[in-house]
Amino acid sequence: MEVTSVVHSVGFLHSPTHIQRLNGKPFFLSTRPRKVNLPLPCHQYPNYLSNAKSGCSDRTSVIFNSTSATSTATSAAEGSLSEAEKIKQRCLKWQWKGQYSINYFVSSDSPQKLLDNQPPLLLVHGFGASIPHWRRNIKTLAQNYTVYAIDLLGFGASDKPPGFQYTMETWAQLILDFLNEVIQKPTVLIGNSVGSLACLIAASGINFFFTLSLNYSLQPDSSQTLVRGIVLLNCAGGMNNKAIVDDWRIKLLLPLLWLIDFLLKQKGIASAIFERVKQRENLRDVLSSVYGNKESVDEELVEIIREPANSPGALDAFVSIVTGPPGPNPVLLMPKISMPVLLLWGDEDPFTPIDGPVGKYFSSLPSQQENVKLFLLEGVGHCPHDDRPDLVHEKLLPWLASLF
């Protein structure tokens, strides 16, 4: 089993051997939508986005396809696109706290009669990933649910503000604000890796104190009316490896981790490392090491990870996340959760292995908390939803149906 070192979470950029040889240019350039900033009042999106809700702000930004005026032409064009590109074409923008542009997706394919009777779903990606990482799930889930997906601040097509200090608590507050301002209904949170942990923090309702320009607190009961249930896909133990202090493998590497933290705080060294991290061939190798089903590691997946890494601010986000505080420990969070929880865990995950401290803790929960269900997914790695979506849907869909 390969021991993690630099980043703990989605697992794409972790091992020291890959950090030394992880560059490239964006692949999906010709199909990017055109961004138009419009002063829209609440709920005044175009008809084809009628299921979406805005953040009720006069600074709302919406992404329109350049062919959106002609629905027939748009449909024809979408027919030749991959699922990931279709998802990207239909993304919207929401202004968080009036200063950060957050990229999100909302489905509009489900029959309206089903949407009123089912809770909406919010998909939250892991480290290094973005909304298109749910390319193999959205279409299936949207048959019965309104599906939202979000790019966390610092990832995907969301803002990556220079010098921003990223924390797990910041992402948790982002999720809660999105639920409150955009979705406005009790929602099932579905997260992978650090996305899982962010969902767990949001649902736990603990108090947060934010520095920078975010000076407010999350009240203990504010999440109870916003979150209907949680699905954790190989939940991370923290924003980075410094959280896993009880794993002997991490203890052995701890001096190296602190050295890497020091090196990454040197701008020139950090830039050189990050350029290697983004190299296509080596990124494919890393992905193959964390996926059980190697056939799922295709060129599109590589570009889903690479493209946002080439945008301004990506390096700062990378350094801040790797060197920042690990955030709240899930062991302290889970006792606060009384809502239904589904744990789906790939048994071949090298980053949050089921025999590690985080995996052992979560695997013990079904016998301690009646609201928790766990399914081990055989032959699956760190990102079950993209690795083996069929196995995930097999367990996820019945569990969702059981909520009502």
Find the CATH number of the domain harbouring 340: 3.40.50.1820
The predicted pLDDT at position 303 comes to: 96
Residue-level pLDDT, tens digit, the chain, 404 residues? 333 333 333 333 333 333 333 334 333 333 344 343 433 333 333 333 333 333 343 333 333 343 344 444 455 555 689 999 999 999 999 999 999 999 999 997 544 544 567 899 999 999 999 999 999 999 999 999 999 999 999 999 999 999 999 999 999 999 999 999 999 999 999 999 999 999 999 999 744 433 333 433 444 455 568 999 999 999 999 997 665 555 555 555 555 665 666 566 777 787 887 788 889 998 999 999 999 999 999 999 999 999 999 999 999 998 898 888 889 999 999 998 999 999 999 999 999 999 988 999 999 999 999 999 999 999 999 999 999 999 999 999 999 999 97
| Count: domains in the chain | 1
Which pTM value belongs to this model?
0.76
**Which segments of 62-105 does DSSP mark as H helices, in order?**
71-78, 83-89
pLDDT at 247: 56
The answer as to whether 111 is a domain residue is yes
Buried b (16+ CB within 10 A) or exposed e, 374-384: bbebeebbbbb
Quick check: is 152 in a domain? Answer: yes
Q: In this predicted structure, what is the pLDDT of residue 65?
A: 40
192 domain residue, yes or no: yes
Residue 9, domain member (yes or no): no
Is 68 domain-assigned? no
Contacts of 235 (CB under 8 A, 6+ apart): 191, 193, 196, 197, 200, 330, 343, 352, 358, 362
CB 214 within 8 A of CB 330: no
Q: What pLDDT was estimated at residue 240?
A: 73
In a domain, 244, yes or no: yes
Q: What is the DSSP letter of 82?
A: -
User: Which domain does 204 fall in, by range?
Assistant: 83-402
Give the pLDDT confidence score for residue 200 in this predicted structure.
Answer: 97
Whether 10 is in a domain gets the answer no
> Does some domain include residue 104?
yes
